[in-house]
Structure 1
């Protein structure tokens, strides 16, 4: 099955652009409740699966051994803005491990946070790896690595850290991964199907009702994300805004190339979205629409206008276009 039209952009009464994709909603048993496009389409989850990558950090005993807080676990699941509230805790976490910025393998990145970016530009200082949106995830990897006594190249696909991540990833998606790609932060990103990714999110959504080691790890990670939405992304970001709008009842996570996932413990549902042209505006609109559809998000909340129903403004603040859900999608 092909990707289906999901979001349209209309300007001057004419259809200007269209975004097609796939979406799957899974129930508490991992079965498909609803799907659009192809549930068996193979994708890279990118950063939308960081909570899966963080499971070995808790399961191994590393989180307990180093006394990690829920705020640190939220950072392990984060694609953050590189603001002081993100980089400061990462610096302290690394120091607690006896490590520093040079031990990271995620690469430098100019921060998205305005104040942090301005501070670097005005001081003629280059960004470093702490500003990388994945520095929290990588510090989690380093914590696990220290616990496992592994070598420094923890991003190597054959390293014990990444072998542990792959094993967990395949178990919670309930599928062998057909392979991996190298993510923007240099770590391997394991591929799966849309159904597999949604099934993994449903596992996280239902973990609180079980008492296994992995269930407790998943429950803690979801709780950390919902408790610290500002650490998972940052001010102005869709993940943070949507989680705040839902009052700490749902965890959502974006990924590069327009992937979006949602974990809904109250409803025992997991959602996965992928827009094939990689447009974030479309993945944000679709996840918003699906959260409304399942009853997790109030359609009258202001966040809905921001990501789904509001006008597209030009540089003078004039309403120049509008986003619409494609006919047939979610109807």
Structure 2
């Protein structure tokens, strides 16, 4: 196990330790100073879908939601990892029509929804996979729409040297207070460039998303406030009705978004704190346990938010028949 990571959650079955989830957690204050940590805050981590609010900033700067006459629910999908429920797909089809974009322009692959019920319904209706079903399709539409509006090539928006991708890197570097040249770039699951930052910088950018008054540049500040507001106003659009991102965003005090392979970012408005975490094995099932524990350790005042997390994934472990067979224990300190 990398020295960057420490045990975060232990899982027991019949009183016997069965599994351990390792990872790292970092909390920064409004100056960006690390005030709590477990594991290595310098660990370099791809943001994956936790980057989506920041990938939406170039479009928010141009107010492309207003350019295309989008509703708030539709525009929130620019920052979403939607799970493909029917209300997601209805909104995405509306965006396609309003932007006058062909679905084939989206670079993400054709697939089925991540939500199991939504996936089953598409199979039952004998529907083929679609690019619009991909959880990143809203992000792609945002970048395509911006490219059309700016007169950039809307067919190549996914290429690293495309103006929209360069603006994303510059925006992320500005918020993280690092040189753009220092940001490692890979390819995400949906085919777009994906960026890596040290964990404490992920905490910092989420702090600024929650508290945009900390952003000096007026255009970036307004764009961050705009996308953060859309996410809180439309939480079920960001994931679905039974997923941790949506559960957290129902709390107007939080900016929050997770990404593949166990990465998560949270900003707290009243407390003016930024949080980042990485589960080294990529598990998302232990996010609720870890995030609820962090909030409890910070003395977070809104118990309903913590309760929503435990309702999603209780710390008791049940078998397929619903019998309690074990428990999940957070084992980290801050």
Structure 1 residues not aligned, in runs of 5+: none
Q: How many equivalent residue pairs?
A: 327
Residues 9-28 of structure 1 correspond to what in structure 2 (within 5 A)?
A: 9-28=11-30
The yes-or-no answer on 1:35 pairing with 2:37 is yes
After superposition, the C-alpha distances for 1:105-152 in whole angstroms (9 at most, x for unaligned) are: 111121123443233212222120111111111111111111222221
Task: Provide closer, same or farther for how the CA distance between residues 296 and 308 of structure 1 changes in structure 2, counting only shifts above 3 A.
Answer: farther
- Could you tell me which residue of structure 1 aligns to residue 228 of structure 2? 222
Q: Is the 8 A contact 2:28 2:275 kept in 1?
A: yes
Does 2:285 align with 1:281?
Answer: yes
For residue 223 of structure 1, report the CA deviation from its aligned partner: 1.0
| Shift in alpha-carbon separation, 1:303–1:107, aligned structure 2, 3 A | same
Q: Which residue in the other structure is 2:78 paired with?
A: 76
Contact 1:289 1:308 in 2 (8 A): no
**Structure 1 residues 135 and 300, CA gap change in structure 2 (3 angstroms):** closer
Match of 2:172 in 1: 169
Shift of the 210–19 alpha-carbon distance from structure 1 to 2, 3 Å rule, reads closer
Contact 2:242–2:312 under 8 Å retained in 1: no
In the other structure, the counterpart of 2:190 is 185
Match of 2:159 among 149, 153, 156: 156
Q: What residue in structure 2 maps to residue 127 of structure 1? A: 129
CA contact (8 A) 1:175 1:192 kept: no
TM-score for both structures, normalised by structure 2? 0.91
Q: Structure 1 CA distance, aligned partners of 2:215 and 2:178?
A: 21
Mapped partners of 1:216, 1:256: distance in 2: 28
**Offset at residue 210 of structure 1 (A):** 6.6
C-alpha separation in 1, matches of 2:157 and 2:303: 42
CA RMSD of aligned residues (A): 2.0
Matched, 1:322 2:327: yes
Could you say if the C-alpha distance between residues 223 and 299 of structure 1 is closer, same or farther in structure 2, counting changes exceeding 3 Å? closer
Aligned with residue 276 of structure 2, among 259, 272, 277: 272
Aligned 1:247-266 pairs, distance under 5 A? 248-266=252-270
Q: What is the alpha-carbon distance in structure 1 between the residues aligned to residue 23 and residue 156 of structure 2?
A: 35
| Partner secondary structure for residue 82 of structure 2 | coil
Instruction: Summarize the alignment of residues 112-123 of structure 1 with structure 2, pairs less than 5 Å apart.
Output: 112-123=114-125
Stretches (4+) displaced over 4 A: 208-211
TM-score by length of 1: 0.92
